Amino acid sequence: MNTREIAVEFRLSHWAQIMQDRTSSGMSIRAYCKEKGIGTNVYHYWQRKLREAAAQQLAEAHPEQTQALVPSGWAAINPAEEAAPKQEGGLTLRVGGVEIQIQEGFDEALLASVCRVLQPPQRNCVSPGAPVC
């Protein structure tokens, strides 16, 4: 493990402890952050990072169950594997590591819903200590 990985693990551990403390306090995130002098946007940033790390560890520990994490009607795509051949008359979207293949006759309402889910959240990144956008 290199220095960068150790630093990331330390920060994740530190923030996991903070979130555990907040949960056990029974306080809302807003009230807890105000009392401790933590920006709520920073709290949510690290909460997302912890969730991503936990999901990655789960996928690595149980690769045989990764398929079960994919919603019905979707397909898991391993970026290391060669992409499936594209069919004519379709469109391929790549957003944040997700690839979506759209064929003729697609459900427009479903595509609009998927795009809303994949759209990155708008953040206010002007306050000191805010995550880098």
**Short-list 114, 118, 116, CA closest to 102:** 114
Instruction: Check: pTM over 0.85? Answer yes or no.
Output: no
Q: Torsions phi, psi of 94, nearest 5?
A: -125, 120
Q: What pLDDT, on a 0 to 100 scale, did the predictor assign at position 70? A: 60
Encode the chain (133 residues) as per-residue pLDDT tens digits.
789 989 988 999 999 999 999 999 999 999 999 999 999 999 999 999 898 888 788 777 776 665 555 665 566 666 555 555 555 667 777 766 667 777 777 777 777 777 666 665 555 555 555 555 4
Q: What pLDDT, on a 0 to 100 scale, did the predictor assign at position 129? A: 53
Q: What pLDDT, on a 0 to 100 scale, did the predictor assign at position 2? A: 87
CB 92 within 8 A of CB 101: yes
Q: What pLDDT, on a 0 to 100 scale, did the predictor assign at position 60? A: 77
Q: Which residue has the tokens 């290391």?
A: 80
CB 93 within 8 A of CB 100: yes
Amino acid at 92: T
| C-alpha count within 13 angstroms, C-beta hemisphere, residue 20 | 7
Which residues, 6 or more positions from 25, have their beta carbon under 8 angstroms from its beta carbon? 32
Q: What pLDDT, on a 0 to 100 scale, did the predictor assign at position 42? A: 94
Structural element, H or E, at residue 92: strand 91-95
DSSP annotation of 129 reads T
